[in-house]
Amino acid sequence: MSETLIRPRIEARPLGERLAEKLPLLLVPLLMLGGLIVTGSPSTWATLTVAGLAMGLMIFIMASGLTLVFGLMDIINFGHGAFVAVGAFIGFTVLTWLSGWTGHPSVLMNLAAMLIAVTVTMLATGLIGYGFEKVIIKPVYGQHLKQILVTMGGMIIAQQLIHVVWGPDALHLSRPLALQGSWVIGDAAIEKYRIVAVGVGLALFVAMRHVLKHTKVGLLVRAGVENGEMVEALGYRIRRLFLVVFMVGSALAGLGGVMWGLYQETITAHMGSEIMVLVFIVVIIGGLGSVEGCFIGALLVGLLANYTAFAAPKVALVSTIGLMVVVLMWRPQGLYPVVKAK
């Protein structure tokens, strides 16, 4: 082939377009700056910011699996909240069994109890996810209306099963001893558990990015989100990938359930469906299928919810929906949509 005929050339995109792509990254610091102006007090701002980041990152844990399931499998899973609630109750059971460890003065014992609870929860919700995909999701691939109906039905069944197994009452889920209380830095009180939640959320984000960017499975997931049919035409069984992603998404929802339960210190069978409103908002803000978008969306939602709860409590309830409306007016497919090519 003559190179002169096809002299390679990438047409440079306009500067404005390239900058616009980076703009969502500025939203989080801009919101934090806005929060500082609104609160007017650095210590209050620090407390609210850490609370917002913790809340956002816990929502990210729950939403990251859902956005991949949305993007890769084209599944609208309204039953995702069931895994959050079931995860919280399984975590509660494990932590109750290990109450001797959680109440022990040793930080290591406390963390070991947390680790065991989280591991058991993720394994259990991952396995439940396997059954959920096989029994409930598989028959309705490509049928969105039926997906909504059957996954909501699945969530209602899960809530009733929680009532059967754990009873109808709200349960108190106490944090391990080492994660109770706050650190006081200057005038700011920072809850220890929130720092842990931030750490877990950031670690998960870094791990997910690493897997998605630097492993073949990650490449397949990213390619599958964009064009699953072509992945199959290359010789890969995307159905297996679907199943694995669904199980991972369910396990992450379970992890989010434990984290959220420990954050609220109260768990109910309906906690999953309640938090799902915020989870869906985050997924929509971020753009379907995008882990990065989901991360930014979760931070925005968490921070905004905390700042508005402080500055204008009556507005707090609608602030996240308002944020979603504004983002969608700016970018109708979300901040970083991955599935736009479908």
Of 3-11, 29-37, 119-127, 306-314: span binding other proteins (CB under 8 A)? 3-11
Q: Which of 65, 72, 335 is nearest to 205 (CA)?
A: 65
Q: For residue 207, how many other CB atoms are within 10 A of its CB?
A: 10
> Considering the complex, what minimum distance in angstroms separates the CB of residue 238 from other proteins?
8
> Considering the complex, what minimum distance in angstroms separates the CB of residue 275 from other proteins?
29
Distance, CA of 38 to CA of 41 (rounded, Å) = 9
Q: Write each residue from 225 to 264 as x if it is in contact with other proteins (CB under 8 A), else as -, in one continuous string.
A: xxx-xxxxxxxxxx--------------------------
- CB under 8 Å to 237, separation ≥6 — which residues? none
Distance, CA of 132 to CA of 197 (rounded, Å) = 28
User: Could you tell me the two tokens for 84?
Assistant: 């959050």
Residues between 12 and 41 with contacts to other proteins, criterion CB under 8 A: 13
| 8 A C-beta contact, residue 201 and residue 263 | no
338 binds other proteins (CB under 8 A): yes
Number of residues that bind other proteins (CB under 8 A): 30
C-alpha angle 212-198-130 in degrees, rounded to nearest 5: 50
Which residue, 61 or 238, has its beta carbon nearer to other proteins?
Answer: 238
Q: What 3-state class would DSSP assign to 236? A: coil
Among 127, 223, 309, 311, binds other proteins (CB under 8 A): 223
Of 116-124, 164-172, 189-197, 220-228: span binding other proteins (CB under 8 A)? 220-228
Site residues (vs other proteins, CB under 8 A)? 1-3, 5-6, 8-11, 13, 216, 219-220, 222-223, 225-227, 229-238, 338, 341
